[in-house]
Every structure is written in C-alpha cells, then in structure tokens.
Chain A
Amino acid sequence: MSKRRTLAWCAGLFGLFLILFYIQLTHGSIHLTAAQVRATLLGHGSAQDKLVLLQFRLPQVALSLICGLCLSISGALLQVVTENPLADTSIMGINAGASLGAVVFLALSHNFAGLNQTLALPLCAVAGSFCGALLTFLQHRQQNPLQLLLVGVATGTLLNGVILLIELQLNQFDFDKLIIWISGDFWNQDWHYIGVLGLAFVILLPVLLLALHGSDLLALGPDTATGLGLATNRKRKQLLGLAVLLAGLAVAGGGAISFVGLMAPHLARRCVGSRIGHYLPVAALLGVDLILGAAILAENLFAPSQLPVGLVVAVLTLPYFMLLLTRQSALNEL
C-alpha cells in the first residue's frame, strides 16, 4: 500500500518537475515559445536562442537538480543520524563552515592570483563545511538531540562572526560577490563545472544506496538497533560522512542554500510514512522542485533585477519551519 503511495507521489512530483522545467526554459527576460525550445534542443535554433537555452537556462536546471538532490538527501540523513527532525545543514554549522571557506578564499585570492577560482573556491567551501560539521559534532558529546541543535546554533554564531570580520575588510565588489554566495546562488554555470559536480554525485549514489541498508533500524533507538544486529556507531558515522559530503557538493553548486534539507524530508515523511526507503525518493524530488521553483521566482519575480536563489528558498521555506515549531506535536518529537 505504502509502496504504491510512494510511487504515486514520485510520479506527481516528477510531473511537477517537468512543468517547472518547461517554465524555466521558456520564461525569463527573453521569452521563448515551445517550438523555439524544441528546435534549439534538436540543434537548429537561432544563435541567440542557443545561447539563452544552452548557456543560461539548462545549466540552471542542472544545478537545481544537483543541489536539490544533494540537499534534501543530506538533510534526511542528518535527521536519521541525529534522531532529530529539525536537523539541517544550515543549523548544524555546515553552511556557515562552507561560507567561511569561501570567504577566506576570496579574501586571500588577491595574494594568490594564479589560483583557479572555479576549482579552488568549491574546494575551500567543501573543506570549510567539513570543519563546521567537525566543530559541531566534536562539541556534541552527549547524545542529546536538543543539545546538538544548540551547539549547531553556537557554531553558526561563532563562524558567522569570523565571516563578518573578514567580509568587512573586503572591497565593495568582493563584498557583493560574497554576500550573494552566502545567500546561495548558482554562481558558476559553466558546463565543465556542472559535469564535475554531477559526476561526483553519480559516484556517491551507489555508496549511498549501500549505506542506506539497515538505517531504518536507527530510528528504533541505539539499544534496539544494536540488539537487532546493527553496528550502530559505524552506521551512524557512514551516514554522517555521506551527509556532509553531499552537503559539500550542494554548497559547491549553489552556495549556502538553507532549509531545503529540513523541509523536503519532513514533508515527504508526512506524505508516505517514515520508512527511509519510501520517503527518501519523495524528499529528493521535492527538494529539486523546490529549488527549481525558487530559481524561476528569483529570475522572474522582480525582473529585470534578479535575486539570489537561496534568498527565495529561505523566504519560501521559513514560514513552514515556523509553523512546525509552533505545533505542539513537532516539539514533542524532540
């Protein structure tokens, strides 16, 4: 029964993705008709259409896909590992760490002019996200889910203070660049770059599927899970490492986009129940739809000026989070 429901939801969300995909390709400051899109994709559109579609709009779709998948899966894994329905990359200090990495790179990049920005910036960001996660989880010795959340807030505050100190030393140009990065945007739409990210995700995917085996048992609590034959600590570490890697990928693609990892798994659990094999695909598709929708809004809402995607995502998802907090049931889950 639940399997059929999962399939139905997946189909529905995929349909929504196709609709959003179509809107994203046709709408923008230059409007394209369906016929033009088809002609261009088949290889005989005008030069302008080709440029708009292949260099601007398709990369955005691809990046939405990667970021949405990575963020929502990473959020879901974090929630499983910490047994905390409110865990998210932005709350655990991972986003702040990644931002710090990027800030440090931008601040120092004038000294090392030879560095390749397209490669070094995401690397710094990923390294930063690992540091942020490490700080949070090292500090969190007791297995108290709430304390983890508070430690995450503390890590975020600390790292954001350092970010502020560094970013105020930058010139206005770098400052603007940085702050867009921090709010989350598809800052690099180069196909090679997207290819590297996609490849990394494809490599991680089978590892993820292997690691998921038995992770449902974690929800029963450590004692029961161990009793049922699961190496609880090892499984936790595996999933956590994967979650941070995926978050790092997402950060490399779209900057510090927050709250997708919180909202998508949560909604998915509500739709298809709490077995990870069932809700993970739904959550992943939801995440993609959410980011793609936000990207469309960011581009068209206040045209001709554009907003960073992450900002729109935050404005879309935060009310949901606040709603979640105000409901007694959500807090009882803690």
Chain B
Amino acid sequence: MRHRTLVTSLLVGLLVVAFILDVCSGPTWFSPLALFHPRSTLQAQTITSIRLPRALAALIVGSALAVSGQLLQTIARNPIADPAILGVNSGANLALILGTILGVPFTMAARFGLALLGALLAFGCVLGLSMTQRGLAPLRLILGGTIFSGFLVSVAYGLSLLTQTTARYRNLLVGGFSGTTYDAVKWLLPIAIIAAAGIFWLKNDLTLLALNDQLSQSLGNRTTRTRFWTALIIVLCAGASVAVAGNIAFVGLGIPQCIALISGQRFKQTVGQVALAGGAFLCLGDTLAKAARPPFELPLGALTAILGGLFLFIFLGRGQGVRYE
C-alpha cells in the first residue's frame, strides 16, 4: 500500500513537471515563472492560446492511449496488444482519408466522428475475426489485427493515390500536436470523462478478467459483457486520439508494461498510474518534438513508432511474458 502511494505521488510529480516543460518549450523557451506573470501580452497569448491547449491535448491523449492499451492487454490477455497494432488506428486513418476525398469539411466535429466510426468498424472486424466458440482467441487477435491493419493501410494509400491526395495522406502519417486548439481539447475532455466513468464501473470485472475465464465467471463476472463494453471504451479512446494527434504508437504498448514492472499486474490498482504515466510520457515526447531541432518539429508519430518497435523487440527478445494460448 505504501509502495503504491509512493509510486503514484512520484508519477503525479512527473506529470506536473512534464506538463510545465511542455508549456514552456517551443521555438523559444519561456521560464516557468512566465506562466504566472507573463512578461508581455505576446507571451501571455502564446501561452494561453497555443501552448496550453497543446499541452492539455498531449496530456489527455497520452492518458487515453496508455489506458486503452492496458484495457486491450487485459481483455486479450496478451502483453503485446496495442491499439496501434490492432488496426484501430489505421481504421480511423482510412476513415479520415475517405472523409477528405468525399469532401467532408475538416472541422473538429467531423474529424472526431469519422475517426471514431473508422476505429469502431475496424476494431469490430478484428474482434469478429478473432472470436471463436470458446471466446476471444488472443493469438488470432494479434496476428489478424496486424494483417488487417496492413490491409487498411494499403486501401487508404491506394485511395489517396487515385485521388491525388498523397500530400494529405502524408500529413496524417506525421502525427503530433502542432496546431492543436481548444476545439480539440473541448472534444477530448468529455470523451476522457466518459471513458474514465466506464472504467470505474468495470474496474472489478476487469481485475477479475486477469484470471482465466472460467474462474472469472464463477466469481460472478459476465466476461462477454465486460469485454464488449471494454472494447467500446478502447475504440473511444483510440479513435479520439487519432482524430487529434494521428498515429501515435508505443504509449499503449510500453507504458502499461513499464508500470506492471513497478507495481504489478492488478488492473484496479495500476490503471490510475498508467494514465498518469501515459500523460507524462506524451507531454515529454511533445516537448522533445518541439525542442530538439527548432524551428522544425520532429514527427511525433515516427518517434513513438521507433520507440514502440524497440520496446517490442526487447520485450520479445527476453522471451518472457508472452502467453501463446
């Protein structure tokens, strides 16, 4: 218990530091004091209308992605599940491309609607494919998801090639938070709240799900129902993240694993820490993307993809923790 409080408070501290760093960083660094007493109106405006919404979005998206990764790993009972691997992100991407081609106005509302719809359809397909009479087959989920995701990427690319919108396609690939406004935060916040409420409601069932299905059921858990609602929460979180920040890998995969190393595997006790760590990580990542090579920005999507690949590689190389059946 004391260990848990300590870790949580450390993570809260990290999150605050990361958030402040993200707000202060940019083409020109501001001192943290400027947050409270801006030296000029320009500085004040920059902070409130550019950097603050951006940092807020990074924080929410990071938490949402990390938690959705943990949820996915819980229902799939497999530590290498990640929304970015399982076709959720590519479904959302495909929907965004289709929307662009069909001439849907590129407002925040339309983007969220499209991304959520695409994520829902893609994840529905992947889940449907990996269902057997005995329930969800974790291995099928991973392999089928990877392949299906590749399929969606091909279709998206083919469409953008045929309609000569590869420049748009490229922008979707970049991923990141440049140009994020309060509009995005306004959409992200309710989704995050809904997801948090859902997780709170399901938290006991999800903790039990870590046991095997039979045991879990005999303890009064309706596993199919739990999985269904959890899948919806995952789609909500991942779809919203893609709508704001494009394809961001690693967070859903690595953060829950790292937290599991520190605080163990029990869902109920770690989900808060995972959310904190995810938010902190993405704030730091955004800071790095902004500050590494000013005035250019590094593509956050690519950075996290490399990190995610490396992590997966090391994880599998240690040859432990992967449950095959």
Tell me the A residues contacting B by CB distance below 8 Å. 86, 90, 139, 141-142, 144, 146-147, 149-151, 153-162, 164-165, 168, 172, 175-176, 179-180, 183, 258, 302, 305, 307-308, 311, 314-315, 318, 321-322, 325-326, 328, 331, 334
Q: Name the 6 nearest CB pairs between A and B, nearest first.
A: A158-B309, A161-B305, A161-B306, A165-B302, A157-B309, A154-B312
Return the contact of A157 from the options B129, B147, B308 (Cβ within 8 A).
Answer: B308
CB neighbours (8 Å) of A155 from chain B are: 309, 313
Return the contact of B309 from the options A161, A175, A318, A322 (Cβ within 8 A).
Answer: A161
Q: Is B40 an interface residue (CB 8 A)?
A: no
Q: How far is the CA of A323 from the CA of B306 in the complex (A)?
A: 31
Cβ contact within 8 Å between A154 and B309: yes
**What would 5 more interface pairs be, CB under 8 Å, given A147-B322, A318-B151, A322-B129?**
A147-B324, A150-B80, A150-B322, A154-B316, A308-B158
Cβ contact within 8 Å between B147 and A321: yes
Q: Is B39 an interface residue (CB 8 A)?
A: no
Main secondary structure of the interface of A (DSSP, over half): helix
Return the contact of A314 from the options B129, B150, B162 (Cβ within 8 A).
Answer: B150
Q: Is B202 an interface residue (CB 8 A)?
A: no
CB neighbours (8 Å) of A139 from chain B are: 313, 316-317
Q: In this complex, what residue of B is CB-closest to A319? A: B151
Given A258-B150, A314-B151, are A161 and B302 also a contact pair (CB < 8 Å)?
Answer: yes
Q: How far is the CA of A162 from the CA of B308 in the complex (A)?
A: 11
Given A157-B85, A158-B312, A331-B137, are A164 and B302 also a contact pair (CB < 8 Å)?
Answer: yes
CB neighbours (8 Å) of B85 from chain A are: 153, 157
Closest CB in chain B relative to A84 CB, distance in Å? 11
Cβ contact within 8 Å between A150 and B316: yes
Q: Is B186 an interface residue (CB 8 A)?
A: no
Cβ contact within 8 Å between B305 and A157: yes
Q: In this complex, what residue of B is CB-closest to A176? A: B166
Return the contact of A172 from the options B161, B170, B299 (Cβ within 8 A).
Answer: B170
Q: How far is the CA of A318 from the CA of B153 in the complex (A)?
A: 12
Q: How far is the CA of A331 from the CA of B158 in the complex (A)?
A: 31
Cβ contact within 8 Å between A305 and B162: yes
Q: Is B5 an interface residue (CB 8 A)?
A: no
Cβ contact within 8 Å between A157 and B144: no
CB neighbours (8 Å) of A308 from chain B are: 158, 161
Q: Is B174 an interface residue (CB 8 A)?
A: yes
Cβ contact within 8 Å between B316 and A151: yes
Cβ contact within 8 Å between B150 and A168: no
Cβ contact within 8 Å between B151 and A326: no
Q: How far is the CA of A293 from the CA of B72 in the complex (A)?
A: 39
CB neighbours (8 Å) of A314 from chain B are: 150-151, 154
Chain B 261-304 interface mask (CB, 8 Å, partner A; 1/0): 00000000000000000000000000000000000000101111
Q: Is B142 an interface residue (CB 8 A)?
A: yes
Closest CB in chain B relative to A195 CB, distance in Å? 30
Chain B 225-268 interface mask (CB, 8 Å, partner A; 1/0): 00000000000000000000000010000000000000000000
Closest CB in chain B relative to A306 CB, distance in Å? 9
Closest CB in chain B relative to A104 CB, distance in Å? 14
Q: How far is the CA of A302 from the CA of B292 in the complex (A)?
A: 43
